[in-house]
Amino acid sequence: MPDTDTLADLLIAGGTVVNETTRFPADVAMKDGVICFVGHPAFAPRAKETLDAKGKLVIPGAIDVHTHIREPGMTHKEDWTTGTRAAAAGGVTTVFDMPNTEPAVSSPEILAAKREAAERQAIVNYGLYGILDERSLDHLEGLAAAGVIGFKLFLGNTTGNNPAPNDGAVLEGFEILAGLGLRCSIHAENSPILFWRENRMKAAGRDDAFAHLAARADVAALESLSRSIVLSEWTGARIHIVHESCMRSIPVIRDAKARGVPMTVETCPQYVLLAAEDLTGDAGRIARLNPPIREGRQREPILQALLDGTIDILGTDHAPHAMEEKQRPSFWDNACGFPGVETSMRLMLTLVHEGRMTMEQYVRMASAAPARAFGLWPRKGVVQPGADGDIAVVDPAQRHVIRGAELHSIRSPFTPFEGMATVGGPVATIVRGRVVMRDGKVLDAPGWGRMERPQMPKPEPRNLATTTRAILRPGAQPW
Ligand code: DOR
Ligand code: ZN
């Protein structure tokens, strides 16, 4: 008779575990949502359910720190059901949801409403961002106490039209966040430059993909990145630069990191794989996003920076929209973004198949580094006893052709990767010990996903005596 105390819930048998620095054949067992065994099959516990992983790789599930799930307020694009089903289909076990929903997440009350919607539906784990803007400055502590995974700062205007805060407000926000220790993800494009140039393009009658690229030129990203670094370095606020797209940013990032600026950086498959010059006509409409896909020559430097760790994290900027929002007559009225959470792993494993990156590097950028940056390590990001049972089982030889119409983001059935042939993909997704996707079929598990709260290292604020609050505190000396 099996001893029910040691009977695991799930055993993944016969696979090869790949973590960011190791690879070894092992069985993996989970009980009560946590990995309880990684080791030789002869010593594996019996389990209620066994998943055969012969010839497969067993990796920590991807953690996508950049998704737009859209609920509340924009559920004609996506909701917590479709968004997390798409994640499960793509081997993603945790998504972080951006706060540019309707309403934007600027207070604990708004966060609570979003959490309630997620709790009922999510089949993968989730972190919820709060927004850092002029409205939310007085709510940052409240949002932190309510368990946000971090904050999002839109320095560049995009979907949701959340105006970029004044630099004074950003500085004050960073002063507060430095004390809290939470990370602030930044959309680093200079808003005044974007608006000015877009208006110049429009006034000249331009209405095309290249004008969009020109309006959001590299320099706008470079300026905003540099300003973010200055404010982070001064205050000690931890920052995360999302969707890095410019090769010219790479030396700036390297320099800043070498000086000890507490920053991490992300890029997305589209900046590694797509080229502006290939995206004319309808393809350009589908691929329109912010920041834009740049010239093809920028791809390799971005990939190399991702491989050498200058860029830490692979996100997706999963940004679903309704089809009609992508087909408006004027290019300028076309919604920015496209779904990405479901296709990212397949696209990257294709690079692994081609020998352009290793599986270990993929695990680092897609799971380990995100977990470390956002206070989830070592509970997530690694397959080892004691860690959460969040796992993707990968078939490195699986062949697939990406089709927008087959995505689980069913209200957003398009992708700029349409027709692309991929090699390597997830065959099972396991969230806290429960199989939520198997052989491409997403299983019903609404509400199984759990909200993830960060456990960040001790805050390390800098220049404390110069903060607005320190100066305004009664009796404080302003020098
Ligand atoms: O293209 C984009 N779409 N870029 C962003 O930063 C936001 C996103 C969205 O929310 O649609
Ligand atoms: Zn985004």
Q: Give the mean pLDDT of 182-190.
A: 98
Q: What is the pLDDT of residues 36-86, one digit of tens each?
A: 999 999 999 999 999 999 999 999 999 999 999 999 999 999 999 999 999
Kindly report the protein residue whose alpha carbon is nearest to atom 3 of ligand 1: 337
- The atom of ligand 1 lying closest to the CA of 289 is 1
The yes-or-no verdict on residue 161 having pLDDT over 90 is no
State the pLDDT confidence band at 160, using cuts at 50, 70 and 90: confident
Task: Look at residue 3 in the predicted model and tell me its pLDDT.
Answer: 52
CATH number attached to the domain at 61-385+394-426:
3.20.20.140
Cβ atoms of residues 300 and 347 within 8 Å: no
Q: Looking at the CA of 185, name the nearest ligand.
A: 2
Instruction: Collect all residues with Cβ–Cβ distance below 8 Å to 239 and sequence separation of at least 6.
Output: 183, 184, 185, 186, 228, 229, 232, 261, 262, 263, 264
Start-to-end C-alpha separation, the chain = 74
Mapped onto helix, strand or coil, the DSSP state of residue 38 is strand
Q: Looking at the CA of 337, name the nearest ligand.
A: 1
Q: What is the pLDDT of residues 451-466, one digit of tens each?
A: 999 999 999 999 999 9
Cβ atoms of residues 90 and 123 within 8 Å: no
Q: Domain extents for the chain?
A: 61-385+394-426
The yes-or-no verdict on residue 281 having pLDDT over 90 is no
Using CB distances shorter than 6 Å, the residues near ligand 1 are 68, 100, 158-159, 187, 289-290, 317, 319, 336-337
State the pLDDT confidence band at 147, using cuts at 50, 70 and 90: very high
Nearest Cα residue to 416 out of 221, 231, 277, 286: 286
Q: Could you list the beta-strand ranges (E) of 223-374.
A: 238-241, 263-267, 313-314
Q: Give the mean pLDDT of 246-262.
A: 98
Q: Give the mean pLDDT of 129-156.
A: 97
Task: Look at residue 479 in the predicted model and tell me its pLDDT.
Answer: 52
The yes-or-no verdict on residue 97 having pLDDT over 90 is yes
The yes-or-no verdict on residue 291 having pLDDT over 80 is yes
- The atom of ligand 1 lying closest to the CA of 187 is 6
Q: Give the mean pLDDT of 233-257.
A: 98
Strand-pair category, 16-18 with 23-25: antiparallel
Alpha carbon of 284 to those of 10, 161, 260, 421: distances in Å? 45, 22, 39, 20
Task: Look at residue 1 in the predicted model and tell me its pLDDT.
Answer: 45
| Predicted structure pTM score | 0.97
- The atom of ligand 1 lying closest to the CA of 156 is 6
Give me the torsion for CA of 386, 66, 51, 21, rounded to 10°: -60
The yes-or-no verdict on residue 5 having pLDDT over 70 is no
Q: Looking at the CA of 188, name the nearest ligand.
A: 1
* Phi, psi at 134, each rounded to 5°: -65, -30
Distance 187 CA to ligand 1 centre (A): 9
